Amino acid sequence: MVCLLMGLFAACEKSVDVLIPGNLQPDYSGITTLRVENYVNRLFIDLLGREATETERQAAVQELRDSALSTSIRRRLITRLQSDTSFHPGDSSYRHAYCERIYQLMKARFLEGADDGELQLRLGNARFAETIARLNGDSVGVFSARNQAASYENVLKSRRNYRLGKISFGEMCSYMMNNGIYDVINMNSFNFVNASYDDLFNRLPTRDEFNRAYDVIEYNKPAVIHGIVCTNRNEYLRALTESSEFYEAQVRWVWFTLLQREPSTGELFRVLPPYRLSGDLMEVQKQALQSDEYAQFR
C-alpha cells in the first residue's frame, strides 16, 4: 500500500510540457526601426493628440526594442500614455492630455467641435437669466435657467471629472447630448430622437423605439427605453448610455477610428463582455492599439 501511494505521488509530481500551437511570439527581428518609430508616433497622436518628442520617441523605441516588441511592453507604453500623472512639459501630464483628447473627440462627435468659449458664453447667459428671473419672482424661469446653466457646466466639467474618475465615459456622452448646442444642431424632438440613436449607436431607431422615445422627450410620458422606464430626457439618455448596445457601439467606434474597420465577431466576443462589466474604455483602446495590425508589424 505504501509503495502504491508513493507511486501515485511520484506520478503527480511529474510535469509535462505541452506545446500549444500558435502560442509562440512572432519573430519581429525584421521590423525596421522606422516602423517602430511610426508606431510610437501613432500612439502619441491617437492618445494625446500630438507627436512624440525626439526624447520620448527614442526612449519608447528603445523600450520596445529591448523587449523584442513584446505585447506586454506595448501595453505598458499605452497604459503610461493613458494614465501617467507625473509632470510632462506641455501636457501637464499624459493623463491630462489623454482626457483632453477624449473631451475634444466627444465634442467633435456630438457638438460639431463647439469651442469652450461658446459653452462658457451660454453658461454665463443662463446664469444671468437665472438672476433676472429671481429678481422678477419668476420661479419657473429660475428653474429653467438653472437647468440650462447646469447642462453647459456639465459639459465643461466633464473633462476634469472624467480624468478624476468621477464620471464614466457614458456619462460624458450624455452630457454632450443634453445641452442647448446639441438642441440647436438637432432641432425639435423628432430630430433629437433620431440623432441620439445615430450618434450613440450609428443607426436610426426602429419605429417602435422612435415612438416610445418621442413620447418621453416631447411629452414626458413614461416609456420603457432599453429595459429602463424613462419619464424625461435625463433618464432617456441614461438608458441609452447604460444599454448593452451602447457598449457594443463604442467597441465598434474604437475599432473604426483606430483600425479603420469593423471588429470581427471573435473580437467582439473577446472585448465586449469585460467592457460591459468594467466600463473601461481605455482597456478597449489597449486591445486595438497593442495589436500587430495597428502597429503594422505584420
Write out pLDDT tens, residues 177-219.
999 999 999 999 999 999 999 999 999 999 999 999 999 999 9
In a domain, 176, yes or no: yes
Per-residue cell: 239: 438608458
Confidence bin at 26 (pLDDT 50/70/90): confident
Q: Note whether residue 230 is domain-resident.
A: no
Asked if the structure places residue 130 within a domain, the reply is yes
Number of domains the chain is built from: 3
pLDDT of residue 90: 79
174 and 142 both lie in a single domain? yes
Q: Does 121 map to a domain?
A: yes
What's residue 23's pLDDT? 53
- Statement to judge: residues 91 and 118 lie in one domain: no
Cβ–Cβ < 8 Å for 47, 81: yes
121 and 172 both lie in a single domain: yes
Indicate whether 181 and 118 sit together in one domain.
yes
Flag whether 82 is in a domain: yes
What is the average pLDDT value for the chain, to the nearest integer? 92
Q: Identify whether residues 89 and 38 lie together within a single domain.
A: yes
Answer yes or no: do 89 and 123 share one domain: no
Radius of gyration of the chain (CA): 25
Give the list of residues 6+ apart from residue 67 with CB closer than 8 angstroms, or none: 73
Identify the band that residue 25 occupies on the pLDDT scale cut at 50, 70 and 90. low
Q: pTM for this one?
A: 0.89
Q: Are residues 123 and 172 in the same domain?
A: yes
Distances (CA, A) of 130 to 137, 178, 180, 269: 10, 19, 16, 49
19: phi then psi, degrees, rounded to nearest 5: -95, 115
Helix (H) or strand (E) holding 224: strand 223-225
Q: What is the pLDDT of residues 243-283, one digit of tens each?
A: 999 999 999 999 999 999 999 999 999 999 999 999 999 99
Task: Choose one of 164, 185, 206: the last residue of a domain.
Answer: 185
**Residue at 57 is within a domain:** yes
Q: Which of 185, 200, 235 is the last residue of a domain?
A: 185
Q: Are both 91 and 121 inside the same structural domain?
A: no
User: Do 84 and 36 lie in a common domain?
Assistant: yes
- pLDDT of 8 reads 37
User: Is the domain of 178 the same as that of 123?
Assistant: yes
Closest CA to 86 of 56, 114, 109: 56
Residue 86: inside a domain = yes
Same domain, 119 and 178: yes
The answer, yes or no, to whether residue 131 has pLDDT greater than 60, is yes
User: Among residues 185, 208, 229, which one ends one of the domains?
Assistant: 185
Tell me, rounded to whole angstroms, the distance of Cα 285 from its chain centroid.
8
d(CA 238, CA 296): 38
Least confident segment among 96-100, 157-161, 208-212, 294-298? 294-298
**By C-alpha distance, which of 11, 97, 2, 17 is closest to 52?**
97
Same-domain status, 38 and 89: yes
Q: Which domain holds residue 250?
A: 245-295
What percentage of the chain has pLDDT greater than the value 70?
A: 92
Residue 24 has what pLDDT?
A: 61
